[in-house]
A and B are shown apart, each in its own frame.
Chain A
Amino acid sequence: QVQLVESGGGVVQPGRSLRLSCAASGFTFSSYAMHWVRQAPGKGLEWVAVISYDGSNKYYADSVKGRFILSRDDSKNTLSLQMNSLRSEDTAVYYCGRDLSGAGNYWGQGTLVTVSS
């Protein structure tokens, strides 16, 4: 069955970097676009970024553009989110999701990122 497992979250100081990973299994990873969404504590969902199935197209939310970099390694069935210049407002649970015609129909359980001094 489809499984997505995020990792790499933790506590980081403002201005520092963190790299999240999403390990995919149970489907042909290289055939699907993949998304990241996040949810700040007690808040709603915020879409973060999407990468096309072949990695040729990447789109980002305005709030992370220029700071976050999305990539994929189809040989390892892994999606990565490099987060630079982190801010307190980046504190959230980050979920990776598999694309279905633009929506996300499978999601991992999420990894918590806390940006704090």
Chain B
Amino acid sequence: DIVMTQSPDSLAVSLGERATINCKSSQSILYSSNNKNDLAWYQQKPGQPPKLLIYWASTRESGVPDRFSGSGSGTDFTLTISSLQAEDVAVYYCQQYYNDPFTFGPGTKVDIK
């Protein structure tokens, strides 16, 4: 199984500042046939289902603000919130869908400093 790790476990960022979350997979999740990384990022707020932010590592889901961006390839990925807003307080998860089981990372909690 592909193991997903995230860092940090939690971070606190001032409003308007940048937040950066890292995700690492235990093996490459770059699909060679289309040169896409099978990596998604989700946001989850308390009592709510997950919300897809990014798929294919860097493609923003429809309706997601452009302050959210994803980058990386192979085994190392990053979710960046360019200017943190109050409504961005949540837990963020990465997930690989390269191989079943489609494993999630443990999550990173983002708070306001």
**Chain A residues in contact with chain B, CB under 8 A?**
35, 37, 44-47, 50, 59-62, 95, 97, 100-105, 107-110
Contacts and interface: CB of A to CB of B under 8 A. Distances in A.
Going nearest first, the 8 A-B pairs with the smallest beta carbon separation are A102-B97, A107-B49, A103-B40, A59-B100, A103-B55, A105-B52, A47-B102, A44-B107
Contacts of A62: 1, 101
24 contacts: A37-B50, A44-B91, A44-B104, A44-B105, A45-B50, A45-B93, A50-B100, A59-B100, A59-B102, A60-B100, A62-B101, A95-B49, A97-B50, A100-B52, A101-B55, A101-B97, A102-B38, A102-B55, A102-B102, A103-B40, A103-B55, A104-B40, A104-B50, A107-B51
Interface of B: 1, 38, 40, 42, 44, 48-52, 55-56, 61, 91, 93, 95, 97-98, 100-107
A60 B101 contact: yes
Contacts of B40: 102-104
Label chain B's interface by main secondary structure: loop
A47 B49 contact: no
Contact of B49 (A44, A61, A102, A109): A109
Nearest to A62: B101
Contacts of B93: 44-45
Contact of A47 (B48, B51, B61, B101): B101
A35 B42 CA distance: 15
B28 to A, nearest CB: 15
A47 B1 CA distance: 12
A97 B102 CA distance: 13
Contacts of B56: 101
Contact of B107 (A35, A45, A100): A45
Contacts of B105: 44
A112 to B, nearest CB: 12
